[in-house]
Structure 1
Amino acid sequence: MKHTAFPPDGSRRNAVPARTAPRQPPVRASRFPILALLSLFLLPSAASVSAAPEPITYSVAFTYRSNSIAEVTAVVPTENRDAVELMLPIWSPGYYRVENYADNVRSLSAHTLDGEALHATLSRSNRWRVETKGNPAVRVSYKLVCNQRTVTRNSVDPNYAVLNGGATFITLVDSQSRPHEITLNLPPTWEHSACGLPPIDGKPHAYRAEDYHALVDSPILAGRLQIREFDVNGTRHFLVNAGYVSDAWDNDRAVDGLEKLVQEHHAFWGGLPFDRYFFMNVFRRSGGGLEHRNSTLLAVASSARGPSDSWYALACHEYFHAFNVKRLRPVEFNTFDYESPPRTTALWISEGLTTYYGILLVARAGLMSPEWFLERMSAEIALLQNSPGRLHQSLHDASLNVWESSNSGMSRGNPARTISYYNKGLIAGLLLDAKIQYATDGRKCLDDVMRLACARYSGATGFTADQFRALAEEVAGTDLTEWFRRTVSSTEELDYSEMLDWYGLEFGPSDDPNARWQLTPRSDASEAQQERLRRLTSPTRRSTDVR
């Protein structure tokens, strides 16, 4: 394991040194069979690379005056069509809320490469039609208002910028399989840029996306950044801080903690599916995080002391998403339509189980105690059991109706009638984990279900909710139809009894509506029960029967 820091004098003009020039992650089939399979799904074929169409190229410049502005110029191939249709997405994968990013576009114009003006009109709320006059390519220029500090939108500040692909880069409606190339033109005092896309050799702050999906899935940080690197089993990781970092923030401890989390993920999954990964840590007023294929964008309060347990859990949650959602995903997410949000009943698996492991793996990595894990589980149970929405909306429906009627974080539903699949999905994970262990006398657990799902359904395959249930039944060796009906598909009260018995726990007696759901080890718990609870939060143990 190693830790390095870039020099502060700007001598490194990109966040990633040159030795990470575009290359595919190695396929280590003999060591990591599951991750080798993932890599095969993600590698483009030689034929597809050779037949790749001409890329759309972008240059981006930044200004910070009274308004925060990014100026974008795109050269768009037309294949000599008389007109082309351009668009910006209306939503971002992983953030289940309709956001029309075109609302922030100003002064869009189109010209030939020789400078002749072309007719460009708004044909839909997020589309533009450009009359090309038969030219093989057109130059489209526009300004973006960048003053929204969320994990899906853009911000430009005096010392740094955050760009999200879906909110930034206009593309051809039919060009999602086309390469896209970006060049950032930074102000003189901005030293670095960071992005999960492979850099273009010989060009500072330039990146290439194999297709539009990769571009949307790769946020960009640029400016006066603090960059630290660490290595886990040959995979390079970067912690990139942007914004005002207070003296109370301990960056050494943050890097050490992230390294422990990555090591735990490596043990859990049997390998890592990328050759580099970025933790983009932005200090500003808003909070939250969003997962991407080999990076995450984290928002941290400028006054943050720490890193705190909540920051570790957030980083762990988003890193777990690099496997569960980015590689292993519902079939409805196999092909994204950026103008039509998808619907699935499986978000409790993609988000709820990720939230469960986002807390559990922090404890397994030794960053927090087993008692902390029980406190977090207790708080989640109390949140659900004190929510009237639990009697009106199921996990199935909270997933399916997230765009308009859910209480899952992005589009706030009526809390008296809705639930959060993050919250109830986490609890479902805790209960399902115990149920599988109970059914197999501790030989199997939910970890085995996740690894088996990854082996069978990751990449281009995808899974259905029924297939996930069948996997859980296969690992448990018993029928789970009634458990899934009650826990996932109905609004009946959850049954905690099996989980409590397996781990030797009880809910502490109290008249307080929160304290009454406090998970407490029983004074008469057997040695076997105590050992099961210890094993739950101990470093990952691997089953030898993952196929």
Structure 2
Amino acid sequence: MRAAGFALLLATTAPAAFASAAMAQDASTYPPALPAPQPAIPAVRDVAYPGVIKLDVDATNLNQRIFSVTETIPVANAGPLTLFFPEWLPGNHGPVGPVAQLAGIEITANGQRVEWVRDTLHPLAYHLNVPAGASEIVVKMQHLSPTTGNQGRITMTQEMLNVQWEKMLLYPAGHWSRNITLQPTVKLPTGWRFGTALEPLEKNGDVQSFKPVNLEVLIDSPIFAGAHYRQIDLDPGGRSPVRANFVADDPASLAATDEQIQILRNLVVQMDRLYGARHFDHYDFLIAMTDKLGGIGLEHHRSSENSVDPAFFTGWATHLGDRDLLSHEMNHSWDGKWRRPADQYVPNFNSPLQNSLLWVYEGQTQYYGQVVAARSGLLTKQQAMDSLAITAATFDNRVGREWRAMQDTTNDPIISQRQPKGWLSWQRDEDYYSEGQLIWLDVDTTIREKTNGRKSLDDFAKAFYGVEDGSYDPKPYTFEDVVAALNGVVANDWATFLRTRLDGHGPGAPLDGLVRGGWRLTYADTPTDYQKTLYAELKRNDYTYSLGIQTTGTNVIHALQWDSPAFKAGLAVGMEIVAVNGEAANMDRINAAITAAKDPAKTVDLIVKDGDRYRTVSFDYHDGLRYPRLERIPGTPDRLGDILTPRTR
């Protein structure tokens, strides 16, 4: 009442002049905001940068994991020059350039030191003044690979290393990346061999030089090198080379069987049959079989960086976690690299990306990564279906959909920058990957249903990605382009179809494609063989659909479902289960307790450690263990089975 009465008094006795005077008095109280004095960053122009930048990397300091860099940059004129450290990294989908790992920057011209100043508004930009008479500047610096995992991704070990050029260069602002030419060289430890999409020139001792390329191609062409190396030809006699370049912690990991090599060759065959066209003149899988080098799965146009378990070959039957990685990353050569979202087609690596179409770029690749893995034999058909069951259950129970549409998750690489989340099921994360997979299954089965099996998403793939054979220049696309291409396969209101699934809130995941494929999601009290093997490899115990938690092999809560019994009991990620029903906790005892509690007279009682505190929680839960699996719908076409069957042409 008092606030309302005071407002009425002002309205009747203090006209606008009074308010204006008060506002003027308030404004005069504060000093004016002054822009920070900053040198101007030149606008990007589509013109060639004069000369060729020489980039020399010494990668021999294995003990301290230091890459030493010398960069010689030609300059045409004296005066202001701005150099960028790459910030918006392709495939990372966010501003994650690790500038903190760059150190020791010293710039000289004609042997004299040139001072640089960091831009305080754009801290990955460095300003300097080129002195009169200088034709080039020399930059010396180091890229400091993390020495432990908590510092970031380790890129150098005693057995192998990963040269990622974007982490060890500066480039001139004001130019499109494609208009800046560099001549790279790398010095490797004696006797080491390497794989890369770059084309080698001469080798002088341990120093390997490569053909000059533009900045975009260079950053898109990393190196894996190691003491234990093997290259396998995956397309013998093919129209363009496709190679698998393996480095390993131990040479024993490199022992692939003939059958395993044939499966990798099948992968290339199935990709060719899917798309038809190739947008590369050669393709190199870079594969680290390691527990020591940091994990990675990163796409490039003519190569990919892949980290797999050392037992990828030698433990084939028991190691499933990396099985679809190679098919996923190779698929990106078409989807994401050649055809890329228009809002990701930007002038250089310090121009912000937009991620609105990642549900195509990554979601469709997640779909085809799994499908081609099954078609090639990296996964059996049953394993692919069991994997799909886990995905379907995960997103059918993703309660965060209530407040956050899947489309919004395409912003996560920028918002979260791939940091762990404590309440993943509620916060959501980069769900455009696997929920996107479910949407594209929905699209595929819809096409198959509408055409009585005569057409499928494969027809879209060939029309959208499998054209202009031999073209390497990026071909951007928009949402409208995707819709038009789908309508070119079969007429439908595809815009509404997609937007409903991208912008909706459920309830539940988009599982129509699964049902239309002839299968439905159900739950059983035992895991599938695939889930049992996978979770044993991951050292993970799954009670997601019973108590609402996943635990590690040491009974620490790894994930927790929002609004589940565990949530309502006050549990959180990071807590440790130390006892169940009065006995020391382990997987078998927790399983037995949940099963026994199907008797309504019994409960599941846990002692939980939270830091230095212990407490007992009791679950009045009686539905037993629940694990996802797919169940055949009688009397329906098995479209999912058809999708996973190898193509013969």
**The two structures share one fold, judged by TM-score above 0.5:** yes
Structure 1 residues 312, 69: closer, same or farther in 2, change over 3 A? same
Please tell me whether the aligned partners of residues 438 and 513 of structure 2 are also in contact (alpha carbons under 8 angstroms).
no
The alpha-carbon deviation at position 297 of structure 1 amounts to 0.8
Please tell me whether the aligned partners of residues 194 and 245 of structure 2 are also in contact (alpha carbons under 8 angstroms).
no
Q: Which residue pairs with 2:172 in the alignment?
A: 172
Measure the CA separation in 1 of the matches of 2:646 and 2:339. 23
Q: Which residue pairs with 1:198 in the alignment?
A: 199
Structure 1 residues 497, 223: closer, same or farther in 2, change over 3 A? closer
Please tell me whether the aligned partners of residues 83 and 126 of structure 2 are also in contact (alpha carbons under 8 angstroms).
yes
Please tell me whether the aligned partners of residues 50 and 75 of structure 2 are also in contact (alpha carbons under 8 angstroms).
no
User: In the TM superposition, what whole-angstrom CA distance separates every residue of 1:83-138 from its partner, at most 9, and x where no partner exists?
Assistant: 321121123101134324221122211222x4233323333422222332131111
Please tell me whether the aligned partners of residues 50 and 76 of structure 2 are also in contact (alpha carbons under 8 angstroms).
no
Q: Which residue pairs with 1:279 in the alignment?
A: 285
Q: Which residue pairs with 1:162 in the alignment?
A: 162
Structure 1 residues 225, 410: closer, same or farther in 2, change over 3 A? farther
User: In the TM superposition, what whole-angstrom CA distance separates every residue of 1:42-68 from its partner, at most 9, and x where no partner exists?
Assistant: xxxxxx99x884110011113436631
Select the structure of larger CA radius of gyration.
2
User: In the TM superposition, what whole-angstrom CA distance separates every residue of 1:27-53 from its partner, at most 9, and x where no partner exists?
Assistant: xxxxxxxxxxxxxxxxxxxxx99x884
Q: Which amino acid aligns with 2:517?
A: Y
Measure the CA separation in 1 of the matches of 2:370 and 2:336. 17
Secondary structure, counterpart of 2:415 in structure 1? coil
What TM-score results when the alignment is normalised by the length of structure 1?
A: 0.81
Structure 1 residues 257, 137: closer, same or farther in 2, change over 3 A? same
Instruction: Spell out the pairing of 1:294-373 with structure 2 (5 A cutoff).
Output: 294-302=302-310, 305-307=314-316, 308-373=319-384
The alpha-carbon deviation at position 192 of structure 1 amounts to 1.9
Secondary structure, counterpart of 1:398 in structure 2? helix
Please tell me whether the aligned partners of residues 146 and 155 of structure 1 are also in contact (alpha carbons under 8 angstroms).
yes
Q: Which amino acid aligns with 2:172?
A: L
The alpha-carbon deviation at position 229 of structure 1 amounts to 2.8
User: In the TM superposition, what whole-angstrom CA distance separates every residue of 1:371-392 from its partner, at most 9, and x where no partner exists?
Assistant: 1121111110011112212222
Q: Which amino acid aligns with 1:513?
A: Y
User: In the TM superposition, what whole-angstrom CA distance separates every residue of 1:225-245 from its partner, at most 9, and x where no partner exists?
Assistant: 412131422322222222413
Please tell me whether the aligned partners of residues 228 and 249 of structure 2 are also in contact (alpha carbons under 8 angstroms).
no
In the alignment, structure 1 residue 265 sits paired with structure 2 residue 244:
no
Instruction: Spell out the pairing of 1:502-517 with structure 2 (5 A cutoff).
Output: 502-508=516-522, 510=524, 513=545, 515=626, 517=628
Please tell me whether the aligned partners of residues 395 and 508 of structure 2 are also in contact (alpha carbons under 8 angstroms).
no
Measure the CA separation in 2 of the matches of 1:171 and 1:453. 34
Shifted more, 132-141 versus 507-516: the winner is 507-516
The alpha-carbon deviation at position 278 of structure 1 amounts to 1.5
Please tell me whether the aligned partners of residues 160 and 190 of structure 1 are also in contact (alpha carbons under 8 angstroms).
no
Which structure has the higher relative contact order (CA within 8 Å, separation 6+)? 1
Structure 1 residues 80, 223: closer, same or farther in 2, change over 3 A? farther
Secondary structure, counterpart of 1:311 in structure 2? coil
Shifted more, 93-102 versus 373-382: the winner is 93-102
Instruction: Spell out the pairing of 1:41-440 with structure 2 (5 A cutoff).
Output: 53-64=50-61, 67-112=64-109, 114-124=110-120, 125-134=123-132, 135-147=134-146, 155-175=155-175, 176=177, 177-187=179-189, 189-201=190-202, 205-232=208-235, 233-245=238-250, 247=252, 250-252=255-257, 254-282=260-288, 283-285=290-292, 286-302=294-310, 305-307=314-316, 308-404=319-415, 409=418, 412=421, 414-415=423-424, 416-419=426-429, 420-440=431-451
The alpha-carbon deviation at position 521 of structure 1 amounts to 1.7
Q: Which amino acid aligns with 1:520?
A: E
Q: Which residue pairs with 1:5 in the alignment?
A: none
The alpha-carbon deviation at position 414 of structure 1 amounts to 5.0
Q: Which amino acid aligns with 2:263?
A: G
Secondary structure, counterpart of 2:390 in structure 1? helix
Secondary structure, counterpart of 1:377 in structure 2? helix
Q: Which amino acid aligns with 1:174?
A: G
Q: Which amino acid aligns with 1:241?
A: F
| Unaligned stretches of 5+ residues in structure 2 | 1-45, 526-543, 547-625
Please tell me whether the aligned partners of residues 234 and 268 of structure 2 are also in contact (alpha carbons under 8 angstroms).
no
Measure the CA separation in 1 of the matches of 2:344 and 2:295. 26
Please tell me whether the aligned partners of residues 253 and 310 of structure 2 are also in contact (alpha carbons under 8 angstroms).
no
Q: Which residue pairs with 1:537 in the alignment?
A: 644
Measure the CA separation in 2 of the matches of 1:296 and 1:376. 23
Please tell me whether the aligned partners of residues 230 and 255 of structure 1 are also in contact (alpha carbons under 8 angstroms).
no
Q: Which residue pairs with 2:480 in the alignment?
A: 466
User: In the TM superposition, what whole-angstrom CA distance separates every residue of 1:347-366 from its partner, at most 9, and x where no partner exists?
Assistant: 01110110111111111113
Structure 1 residues 313, 73: closer, same or farther in 2, change over 3 A? same
CA RMSD for the aligned pairs?
3.0
The alpha-carbon deviation at position 316 of structure 1 amounts to 0.5
Measure the CA separation in 2 of the matches of 1:111 and 1:216. 25
Measure the CA separation in 2 of the matches of 1:468 and 1:440. 19
Please tell me whether the aligned partners of residues 248 and 254 of structure 2 are also in contact (alpha carbons under 8 angstroms).
no
Structure 1 residues 452, 65: closer, same or farther in 2, change over 3 A? closer
Structure 1 residues 348, 290: closer, same or farther in 2, change over 3 A? same
Structure 1 residues 377, 65: closer, same or farther in 2, change over 3 A? closer
Please tell me whether the aligned partners of residues 154 and 168 of structure 1 are also in contact (alpha carbons under 8 angstroms).
no
Secondary structure, counterpart of 2:377 in structure 1? coil
Measure the CA separation in 1 of the matches of 2:264 and 2:646. 15
Measure the CA separation in 2 of the matches of 1:223 and 1:495. 44
Measure the CA separation in 1 of the matches of 2:213 and 2:383. 42
Structure 1 residues 149, 423: closer, same or farther in 2, change over 3 A? farther
Please tell me whether the aligned partners of residues 199 and 210 of structure 2 are also in contact (alpha carbons under 8 angstroms).
yes
Measure the CA separation in 1 of the matches of 2:130 and 2:339. 41
Measure the CA separation in 2 of the matches of 1:426 and 1:432. 10
The alpha-carbon deviation at position 424 of structure 1 amounts to 0.5
The alpha-carbon deviation at position 302 of structure 1 amounts to 4.2
Secondary structure, counterpart of 1:227 in structure 2? strand
The alpha-carbon deviation at position 277 of structure 1 amounts to 1.6
Measure the CA separation in 1 of the matches of 2:467 and 2:233. 31
Structure 1 residues 357, 122: closer, same or farther in 2, change over 3 A? same
Secondary structure, counterpart of 1:312 in structure 2? coil
Structure 1 residues 428, 494: closer, same or farther in 2, change over 3 A? farther
Measure the CA separation in 1 of the matches of 2:416 and 2:307. 26
The alpha-carbon deviation at position 142 of structure 1 amounts to 0.8
What TM-score results when the alignment is normalised by the length of structure 2?
A: 0.69
Please tell me whether the aligned partners of residues 435 and 499 of structure 1 are also in contact (alpha carbons under 8 angstroms).
yes
In the alignment, structure 1 residue 478 sits paired with structure 2 residue 492:
yes
Q: Which residue pairs with 1:30 in the alignment?
A: none
